[in-house]
Structures are given as C-alpha cells and as structure tokens.
C-alpha cells in the first residue's frame, strides 16, 4: 500500500489553475477528480512513461480521504494488481498527472467554465456513451 505520491511539475501548475478556475474545493479534490477522470477513460498507462516527480506531494489520506481503499481498489481492478503491489503508487501518480492534463484540455476548450456544471456535463457525456 502506498503512503504518498508526487505529481509532475507540469501537473502541479495545472492543479493550481484548475482549482482556481473550477472553484470545486482544494487542490486535493481536483487531483481526486482528475484521477477518477483518467481511469474513466479506460486507458492503461505504461510505467515506462512515468513523468518526473517534482510537483505537488499528496499523502494517501489527503488525496483520497476516507476512501483510499476504494481508490486503490480501482487501480488494482484496472491493472489486475494485488493491493500490496509495489507499483500502485506509480499508477496512482500517473493517473493523477494524466487526468489533470485531460481536465485542463477540457477546460481550455470552453470559454465560461462553472465547476459543478462542468463536472455534470462530463458525467452526463460519459453516461450517454454507456447507454
């Protein structure tokens, strides 16, 4: 089980910008949303492509709160890993970084972004695909 991750330097800048633009809470909330958004895309990220770790540091409890086991389970299910696998932290880090870039792209494509409406739209679009 991991105890902390450190984002890339690029992701650190993105999380600051998104936190300010979206107004959905603190940076760890935005990072949590980014992690989930990245996983929702279904893409399996390659460990060989891991970015630098010179950005924002998050402890497991700050990043995932009381639901760390659930988020860890999402990674384990996605990559078919056991909960004690040594690479879980790397996958979490990669999905936070990836998700932040994806969210930033989505935000940059819109002129007026309201945090909750933005999230509702993303969720609604994902549900339409599933139906």
3-43 pLDDT tens trace: 999 999 999 999 999 999 899 999 999 999 999 999 999 99
DSSP 18-31: HHHHH-SSSHHHHH
Q: Give the pLDDT band of residue 111 (cuts 50, 70, 90).
A: confident
Quick check: 109 pLDDT over 70? yes
Can you identify the CATH homologous superfamily of domain 4-130? DNA sulphur modification protein DndE (1.10.1220.160)
- pLDDT for 81 equals 97
Every domain of the chain and the residues it spans = 4-130
- pLDDT for 116 equals 82
Distance CA 21, CA 60 (A): 25
- pLDDT for 50 equals 97
Nearest to 23 by CA among 131, 93, 101, 119: 119
The C-alpha angle with vertex 35 and arms to 34 and 40, in degrees rounded to 5, equals 95
pLDDT in tens, 56-84: 999 999 999 999 999 999 999 999 999 99
């Amino acid at each position: 089980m991991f105890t902390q991750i450190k984002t890339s330097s690029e992701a650190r800048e993105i999380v600051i910008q998104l936190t300010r633009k979206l107004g959905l809470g603190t940076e760890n909330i935005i990072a949590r949303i980014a992690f989930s958004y990245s996983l929702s895309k279904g893409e399996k990220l390659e460990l060989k492509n891991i970015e630098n770790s010179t950005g924002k540091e998050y402890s497991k409890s700050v990043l995932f709160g009381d639901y760390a086991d659930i988020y860890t389970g999402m990674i384990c299910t996605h990559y078919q890993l056991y909960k004690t696998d040594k690479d879980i932290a790397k996958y979490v880090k990669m999905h936070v970084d990836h998700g932040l870039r994806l969210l930033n792209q989505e935000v940059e494509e819109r002129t007026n972004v309201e945090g909750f409406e933005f999230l509702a739209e993303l969720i609604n679009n994902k549900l339409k695909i599933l139906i």
